[in-house]
Chains A and B, each alone.
Chain A
Amino acid sequence: MQKLKFVATGLVALSLATSPLLAQVTAIGPGEGEVDIVAWPGYMERGESDKDFDWITKFEKETSCKVNVKTAGTSDEMVTLMNQGGFDLVTASGDASLRLVAGKKVQEINTALIPSWSKLDPRLKDGAWFTVGGKHYGVPYQWGPNVLMYNTDVFKEAPTSWSVVFEEQNLPDGKSNKGRVQAYSGPIYVADAALYLMAHKPELGITNPYELTEPQYAAALDLLRGQRKLVSRYWSDATVQTDDFKNEGIVASSSWPYQVNLLLGEKAPVGSTIPSEGATGWSDTTMMATDAPHPNCAYKWMEHTLNSNLQSDLSVWFGSVPVVPAACTDGSGQQTAEGCKANGSETFDKIRFWTTPIADCAAGAGACVPYARWVSDFMAVVGGN
């Protein structure tokens, strides 16, 4: 057994030693004819949902790489799919990206092979959610804030604090917020509570909502336990949330610009804002699998994501913000400067982007609570414990 372990360790060491040789692509060859992508719903449109939104057909014509899309509804699902292998690319969010890097499921990107890399928003180029040790493990795709969506019939003026969803109070219409607010159903939501505490309990000394020490973490959980009494259902599915705003009497919740635009499109009385505490946000990255079967088409796609109508049209379609700032104004798609602003392009400095919490943080090695505990504890809070 001991011998076996030794051999196994040796093999791992060997594969680690040789992997840099295999890991990075140094030149793009001819396309392999197809590329397999794991993506969030709504991220890959070929004009079938709405003929005005198509950023795949042109790519397929130009490169002869057929795009096969597998949609995944949660970050967990994405990680599972990538662990199974067989895919080239994934549009990973910050709560999945570092885990994919740590699990060696994605490879370093050779930015020299992506000419449009220079067009990227400089603030995103070295984002901590996909850059590890100075190496880029992907190309930013889109980003957006987790906004506070509210019912404009109840709130004549936009709420200025997240307290409307965290603490019991009477809303401007005179009725309590109990049973009328929602929260995101994901362990990463603990960070929203931490962000709120950063502003309201400075004595806790929280500097980063994704790096929480034990006492800070306990305070965040306490806040969430209080919130549980106000929340009748947590949302994880965008359709469920828009439905709850229409039929369930929900008047305030953390949300994405996507749902806000969807509801505004149906003439529902809603608005969105980023309260004074700031907000959490997501920034998705196109990452390439370590064993990608179609690396050339994958690189061509990554270039295409930055250098086409994709950034512009996708930001209109999804309610997100382009990672290429020029896409807001250059007329490559349907996005406009006002549209970018509505989707939150000017809120960048107020946003703390989703990052997988790990034990080793700025406070020291092993000083912070890792994500595995966020999951079990958030589950306990939602279950009323």
Chain B
Amino acid sequence: MSPAVFPSRSVASRLTTLFWRHPRLLLGLLLAPPLLWLGLVYLGALAALLLQSFYSIDDFSGLIVPELTLKTYAQLFRPSNFDVITRTLLMALSVTVASGVIAFPVAYYAARFARGRWKAAFYLGVMLPLWSSYLVKVYAWKLILAKEGIVTWAATATHTDWLLDAALSLPGIGGSSLSTSYIGTFLVFCYVWLPYMILPMQAALERVPTSMLEASADLGATAGQTFRTVTLPLALPGIIAGSIFTFSLTLGDYIIPQIIGNSASFIGMAVYQLQGTAGNVPLAAAFAVVPILIMLVYLTLARRAGAFDAL
């Protein structure tokens, strides 16, 4: 009786056996790259940022002192820096509310009434602005809102320039023209972020079952009651998801307020100005932590409202 001869096996087949015997090894290998990415590149960068924010800058030499201190965070409460935070926060809130108000009817129509070709037109209309460069859009708005731009021209032609002047003379948010006032910054923010509000809203509204609306009507609810007690609560997660987009995007943007508006700093601009030549990385890092904290609070509130239940 001759000894049994096993055919020699290829590397691939041996690996297959190895993975079959140790399933955890395969899992580990597959998960390692994304975990490394998340752990090192993503969270590592955040940790470095956090660490920097606890350093401080020596006012006389302009050099960074690598000793842990809360001095830099205290600087955030100086009136000039705190103004930057409140300004950004107020802008983000008003942009979110306005986007929600504008987006809801659009999303509602698209979800409930638009069919076939109209639906395609809707998607195209909402997505089209996202296809062109963000900078091109912002510069285009600068021209539209300029003192000698089309808005002023239209207002003069229709004899409604008193309305424009009244809006521009509002204390705090006015200015010498739309493109140099907070009103202009607000309008452009609303325009640029609107699609991010409409799309999740529409997805949520589409999921509201028609049968529930019919049941509500059968039970004698008026249109308004149905809207308030059935449609709105069911669509709320979508609205909140959209608001997370508009809110966080406004909170972090630094290009729009640089081109449109009166040059007053927003958080993103402050971070941009403080790093680099200024070398005040600690204060820039502390500023960068502020939106993170605000978003954490916002997300906690959103979770309580059930925005993530459908995930």
Residues of A within 8 A of B (CB): 74-77, 79-80, 95-96, 99, 178-180, 185, 187, 231-234, 236-237, 239-240, 243-244, 246-249, 356, 358-359, 366, 370-377, 379-380, 382-385
Contacts and interface: CB of A to CB of B under 8 A. Distances in A.
B180 interface: yes
A375 B279 CA distance: 10
Contacts of A76: 272-273, 275-278
A247 B60 contact: no
A309 B108 CA distance: 63
A374 B62 CA distance: 11
Of A359, A372, A380, A382, most B-chain CB atoms within 10 Å: A372
Given A232-B262, A248-B180, A379-B265, A372 B276 contact: no
Contacts of A371: 62, 277-279
Contacts of B61: 359, 366, 370
Given A236-B258, A385-B79, A370 B59 contact: yes
A95 to B, nearest CB: 6
Interface string B280-304: 1001000000000000000000000
Interface of B: 57, 59-62, 78-81, 83-84, 87, 139, 142-143, 146-149, 175-177, 179-180, 258-259, 261-265, 270, 272-280, 283
B147 A249 contact: yes
B68 to A, nearest CB: 13
Nearest to B146: A247
A158 B84 CA distance: 38
Nearest to B64: A372
Given A76-B272, A366-B60, A383-B83, A375 B280 contact: yes
Contacts of B84: 379, 383
A358 B60 CA distance: 8
A375 B265 contact: no
A358 to B, nearest CB: 7
A77 B276 contact: yes
Nearest to A384: B264
A358 B279 CA distance: 12
B273 to A, nearest CB: 6
Contact of A233 (B87, B262, B276): B262
Nearest to B75: A376
Contacts of B78: 380
A72 to B, nearest CB: 10
B148 A99 contact: no
B148 A187 contact: no
A380 B283 CA distance: 14
A99 B276 CA distance: 10
Contact of A372 (B146, B259, B280): B280
Nearest to A234: B263
A383 B80 contact: yes
Given A236-B258, A370-B61, A375-B274, 19 more contacts: A74-B276, A76-B277, A99-B277, A178-B176, A179-B180, A233-B180, A234-B263, A239-B139, A247-B146, A247-B148, A248-B177, A249-B147, A371-B277, A371-B279, A372-B62, A372-B279, A377-B80, A379-B265, A380-B81
